Amino acid sequence: MVIKDFDIQVASAQHVDYAQQICDEMAESAKARGTGIAQRSPEYVANKMLEGKAVIAFHKDGTWAGFCYIETWSHGDFVANSGLIVNPIFRKEGLAKAIKENIFKLSRTKYPNAKIFGLTTGLAVMKINSDLGYEPVTYSELTQDEDFWAGCKSCVNYDILMSKGRKNCMCTAMLFDPTEKQKEYEEKMKKITHKATLLERIENAIFKHKAES
């Protein structure tokens, strides 16, 4: 199986019938891992599809393959790409990475100024986020929107989170900050330009020296 065997698209009304299967798989996978998740109902997932805030993947034979959706917090200042799930029969093929790339692109288009963040215990997601430019941060850097943290109530580790005053828990927090990324990019460009002008000056000096001798 190769990644070309999958079709990844922005989910819409035609996909709402998959919401139940997606939620069942999310719950099953969380049970198997023995970790917690912010549980979502099929209605919630279907609504994300109707709003154009989700990405769904299918194998070329039509089998549902994966899913992920966008959530916004703090009046759109923060975005999370949540509920990443890959059908167990299609795991370890690079599909989660491809789905995350798609939902990240969709998030950047819809909310270009928002900080994009994630909370995860999974190594696969940490790797994928890191490749997308996310960096590990403390929980204080995340949205402080009460509605976001309320989502942790259905997690098995909620007591731990609260006992630590919501400062940390079992999940690693990762953040993509577009303002910081822009600054990093400008710094890099400044260095490249500086190097180029330096090179130009050296070349000019050599040229002048040759012309004079």
Ligand X SMILES: CC(C)(COP(=O)(O)OP(=O)(O)OC[C@H]1O[C@@H](n2cnc3c(N)ncnc32)[C@H](O)[C@@H]1OP(=O)(O)O)[C@@H](O)C(=O)NCCC(=O)NCCS
What residues make contact with ligand X under the rule CB under 6 A? 29, 84-86, 91-97, 120, 122-125, 127-128
Least distance CB 88 / ligand X (angstroms): 7
Cβ-count burial 166-175 (b if 16+ within 10 Å, e if not): eeebebbbbb
Interatomic CA distance for residues 182 and 202, integer angstroms? 30
Residue with smaller CB distance to ligand X, 122 or 133: 122
Residue with smaller CB distance to ligand X, 38 or 46: 38
Least distance CB 124 / ligand X (angstroms): 3
Residue with smaller CB distance to ligand X, 61 or 212: 61
Least distance CB 5 / ligand X (angstroms): 13
Cβ-count burial 59-81 (b if 16+ within 10 Å, e if not): beeeebbbbbbbbbbeeeebbbb
Residue with smaller CB distance to ligand X, 94 or 133: 94
Least distance CB 82 / ligand X (angstroms): 8
Query: How buried is 146 (Cβ within 10 angstroms: 0-12 exposed, 13-18 middle, 19+ buried)?
Result: exposed
